[in-house]
Copies of this chain bind each other. A is one copy, B any other.
Amino acid sequence: MSITIYDVARKAGVGIATVSRAFNDSSLIREETKKRILEIADELNYQPHGLARGLARKQTHTIATVVPFFFNYFFLNLLKNVQYSLSKKNYDMFLYSVDNLEHKENMFDKVLYERKCDGVMLFSLTLDEEYAEKFIKSNVPVIIVDNYHSSLDSITISNKRGAKDAVNHLISLGHKKIAMINGNLSSFPAKVRLEGFKEALMENNIIKNPRYIINADLDLGEDGFNEMAGYRAMKQLASLGKNRPTAIFISSDIQAIGALRAAKEEGISVPDDCAIVGFDDIDFAKYVGLSTMRQPVHTMAELAVNRLLRRIDNKTRDKFQVELSAELIIRESCGARNVTTHLGDISSNDAIFL
């Protein structure tokens, strides 16, 4: 039916081993023979069969990425970059998304034992001990991106430090009544960013007000890093009236977008009545003038890919747990850039407010 290595070998008058060598950059073949075989293969439109190759070599040149089912713009960016790094190395990429824990189980079993991939990249997923154990025992290389487990490779951004930097920036602008709008505490980044927030206040001798900390409820869906969660949280803060905070650190840009919407409805001017700093630097952040902590997505992706491939090639066995830092991007919403801008004013810059 379809063309195999035998067809090529026959037509070239060589053995199949030689054809195989021609296709694998082997040094055990004369340059001339190789060239001729490659030409004939081209004529025949021959391409080695991926599965057969994988089976014989015991590796697939494929990695699996697993993202939460509610993946958003942050993941999109990450995925784009991972895919790019991977394609440069000629690796293929499976994309799986897990919606609930039950599926997660199937997923892992699949990835681990079905042998369709050489390694796994987990995005933002929290691994419980049972599965961490499984990964380690299975010997399948894994790397966790945007989350952490003590006995596996991981690459995170410094959420605590990032949160602190954001809050310190607000403090440096003179704010004392500072709130935090956060994702659900079941999420790893949410938890750590909250710590950073608290630390920054503490170190600056600002007493924290429990009403100024709003963690998204689970009933808001997903991990609380969504627009509606931000909107609701802002409404809640607005209801404090005179006791409203004058600045808010918001744990994700997408929530910040929701918060801005609520602020607008409530007649709260940003940044004058309330300064805002977000987290992530999604594309939209610049369109709405949102100051935010930028995650170095490109670097994360590249590092993760390189590391995983090295692990697959067995070039290394030591632990790899990197923390990159987030960068403060100052736009309008924090009030540092253009203190006279009002909500509804025409912004002088490359960005505007909601």
Contacts and interface: CB of A to CB of B under 8 A. Distances in A.
A131 to B, nearest CB: 14
Interface in A59-99: 60, 62, 69, 71, 73, 76, 79-80, 83-84, 87, 92-97, 99
B94 A261 contact: no
Contacts of A287: 227, 257-258, 261, 354
Contact of A346 (B71, B264, B283): B264
Contacts of A99: 84
A60 B71 contact: no
Contacts of A62: 94, 116
Given A51-B60, A116-B50, A258-B287, A347 B264 contact: yes
A45 interface: yes
Given A83-B95, A261-B287, A45 B113 contact: yes
When all copies of this chain in the complex are counted, the total is 2
Interface in A280-296: 283-284, 287-288
A221 interface: no
A49 interface: yes
Contacts of A50: 114-116
User: Which 3 pairs across A and B sit closest by C-beta, in order of nearness?
Assistant: A344-B344, A47-B113, A50-B116
9 contacts: A47-B113, A48-B114, A51-B51, A55-B55, A76-B76, A79-B95, A92-B94, A93-B94, A265-B347
Interface of A: 2, 45-52, 54-55, 60, 62, 69, 71, 73, 76, 79-80, 83-84, 87, 92-97, 99, 103, 109-110, 113-116, 227, 257-258, 261, 264-267, 283-284, 287-288, 343-344, 346-347, 351-352, 354
